């Protein structure tokens, strides 16, 4: 097995970070891997905002959890509580992938998903933990959404696409067991 396949096999969703910010060169390498992602017609309909301001990440985390408490469906809130009460798992870094709003870009969500995978695999290859976090959109859609949008530097006519939390794992993790029944050859 080559290094790429080993990285893919070993990567897991880290849900417990130690809070220590990774070295700048690692974050820059991950950001470079993000923008090297393929996209439909090479439109690259994304911007990558690397948030390393831990108090800001914690502020969004607290706001997101508060927002979840106000929902009728408590399943997401309960899941967050079962995992320690934090949506962002004490992550010191958030790779925020934003996308253009109100445009006819083809496959923009798929393209943002590819960026996420590049970020996650690059992080794993550098010995860092990561977790793809769609719930990171909750603070941007809540009552403080405009404030968070401005503070994150999201340009006008752009909005939340998805996020990847990155940092050093607080404890070792294991990848999920692949379900080989999902594969068929024709």
User: How do residues 2-27 score in pLDDT, each as one tens digit?
Assistant: 999 999 999 999 999 999 999 999 99
Res 84 pLDDT > 70: yes
| pLDDT at residue 72, as a whole number | 84
Task: Specify the pLDDT at position 80.
Answer: 86
For residues 65 and 81, give the distance between their C-alpha atoms in angstroms, rounded to a whole number: 9
Confidence of residue 103 (pLDDT cuts 50, 70, 90): low
Domains and CATH numbers, the chain: 9-170 (3.40.109.10)
Task: Provide the mean pLDDT of the chain.
Answer: 94
E-strand ranges in 20-123 read 47-51, 93-100
């Amino acid at each position: 097995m080559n290094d790429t396949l080993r990285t893919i096999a070993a990567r897991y969703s880290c849900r417990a970070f130690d809070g220590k910010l990774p070295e700048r060169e690692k974050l820059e390498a991950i950001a470079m891997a993000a923008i090297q992602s393929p996209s439909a017609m090479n439109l690259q309909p994304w911007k990558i905002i690397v948030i390393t301001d831990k108090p800001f990440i914690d502020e969004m985390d607290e706001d997101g959890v508060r927002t979840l408490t106000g929902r009728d469906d408590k399943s997401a809130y309960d899941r967050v509580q079962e995992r320690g009460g934090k949506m962002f798992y004490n992550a010191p870094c958030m790779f925020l992938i934003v996308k253009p709003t109100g445009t006819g870009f083809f496959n923009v969500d798929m393209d943002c998903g590819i960026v996420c995978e590049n970020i996650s695999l690059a992080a794993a290859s550098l010995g860092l933990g990561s977790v793809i976090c769609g719930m990171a959109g909750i603070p941007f859609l809540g009552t403080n959404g405009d404030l968070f949008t401005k503070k994150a530097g999201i340009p006008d006519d752009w909005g939340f696409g998805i996020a990847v939390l990155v940092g050093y794992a607080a404890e070792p993790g294991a990848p999920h067991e692949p379900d080989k029944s999902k594969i068929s050859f024709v």
